[in-house]
Amino acid sequence: MLRKGLAVAALGLALMGGPALAAGSQKELRTVAWSFGGPFGKFDRAQLQRGFKVYREVCAACHSMNLMSFRNLGQKGGPFYDPKYPNPNDNPYVKTIARDYEVSDIDSDTGDVIKRPATPADRFPNPYPNEAAARAGNGGALPPDFSTLSKARKGGPDYIYSLLSGYVTPPAGLEVSAGQYYNPYMAGDVTAFWKGQGHAPKGGFIAMAPQLAPDKVTFDDGTKSTVDQQAKDVAAFLTWVSEPKLEERKAFGVGAMIYLLILSGLLYVSYRRIWRNVAH
């Protein structure tokens, strides 16, 4: 009876449906069958490399990635992992990428502030010296840091992909202020700016102009460089940045589940055997 009652209660819980929070008024996200989805998911190495290229050539001009070091690119599960170099600091590809960046340092002989080429152990340098400079360079808006972005947005990679590839011409009747752009996937409320007929369109304003364009990034593996492709690849890359241990976690998880299933089975059989002579 208790079981039945709680089943009813659980049904109530199920009716609450997924997110407890009332969603904003943004358009329903476009979903992608990501290679890293599901319990057996793994990152597509080539996609991560393409995504890194999009990040490096487009996003990095404004967005920092404070928690990432160059060495992370060459670690197990990273875009440039090479089994020949178990220590990612030795990975020549990673070394070359790092050398292209300049980081601040102190000259240990003179104490002067100097610039030197980065090493794999360095963090990705921030494009702006401080938050005020970042805001000043972007019309008052702060470009969010990328280190945990995919975990910090509802919908994760689907959201990043939808937003980046989802810019549309604002519907007639929507007043868009200078320095703002309309995006149907951005959370927000545009009612106050709506002069057209009927309901205000879904979505919100974002301070970032559309950044992706066909062939803006040339992919080294010959993949056709469409906006859709660039958005997908950079969303996958940012998911790896947020969860660099995703592959290790899922692989470990499959083993753990198998172990627990066998253990549960054995314990159930033991339970039946031990209790077989007890009326209960």
Partner 1 sequence: MSGHSSYVPKTGFERWLDARLPVARLAYDSLIDFPTPKNLNYWYTFGGILALCLGIQLATGIVLAMHYVPHVDYAFASIERIMRDVNYGWLIRYMHSNGASMFFIAVYAHMFRGLYYGSYKAPRELLWILGCVIYLLMMATAFMGYVLPWGQMSFHGAVVITNLFGALPIIGESITTWLWGGFAVDNATLNRFFSLHYLMPFMIAGVVILHVWALHVTGNNNPTGVQVQSKADTVPFHPYYTVKDGFAIAVFMLMFAAFVFFNPNALGHPDNYIPANPLVTPLHIVPEWYFLPFYAILRAVPDKLMGVLMMFGAIAVLFILPWLDTSRVRSLRYRPTTRMYFFIFVVACFVLGFCGGRLPDDKVIPGLTTFVLLDADLNSMVWLSRFATAYYFAYFLLVLPLMGLSETPLEQPASISEPVLSPSAALPAGATASPEKRG
Binding site for partner 1 (CB under 8 A): 1-2, 5-6, 8-9, 12-13, 15-16, 20-22, 24, 39, 66-67, 72, 144-145, 147-148, 151-154, 156, 187, 242, 244-245, 248-250, 252-254, 256-257, 260-261, 263-264, 267-268, 270-271, 274-275, 277-280
| Nearest residue (CB) to partner 1, 6 versus 209 | 6
96 vs 118: CA distance, rounded Å: 9
CB 108 to partner 1: min, Å = 25
- Give how far Cα 49 sits from Cα of 42, 79, 80, 132, 173, Å: 14, 5, 7, 32, 41
Show the tokens assigned to 82: 């090479």
Contact in structure between 213 and 191 (CB atoms under 8 Å): no
User: Closest Cα to residue 233, out of 28, 34, 61?
Assistant: 34
Specify the 3-state DSSP secondary structure of 9.
helix
- The length of the chain is 280
CA distance 126 to 67: 10
| Straight-line distance from the first to the last Cα atom of the chain, in angstroms, rounded to the nearest whole number | 17
Considering beta carbons, is residue 214 or 265 the nearer one to partner 1?
Answer: 265
Rounded least distance, CB 51 to partner 1, Å? 18
Shortest distance (Å) from residue 18 CB to partner 1: 9
Enumerate residues 6+ apart whose C-beta is below 8 A from 263. Answer: none
Q: How far is the CB of 85 from partner 1 (least distance, A)?
A: 18
Question: Least distance (Å) from partner 1 to the CB of residue 167?
Answer: 22
Q: Which is nearer to partner 1, 106 or 254 (CB)?
A: 254
CB of 131 to partner 1, least distance (A): 10
- 205 phi and psi, to 5 degrees? -100, 145
Between 52 and 230, CB nearer to partner 1:
52
User: Smaller CB distance to partner 1: residue 72 or 180?
Assistant: 72
Question: What is the Cα–Cα distance from 153 to 242, expressed in whole angstroms?
Answer: 11
Please, how many CA atoms are within 13 Å of residue 68, restricted to the half-sphere of its CB?
Answer: 30
Residue 159 vs 225, nearer CB to partner 1: 159
Shortest CB 169 distance to partner 1, Å:
27
| Beta carbon nearer to partner 1, 55 or 212 | 55
Q: Rounded to an integer, what distance in angstroms lies between the CA atom of residue 183 and that of residue 15?
A: 30
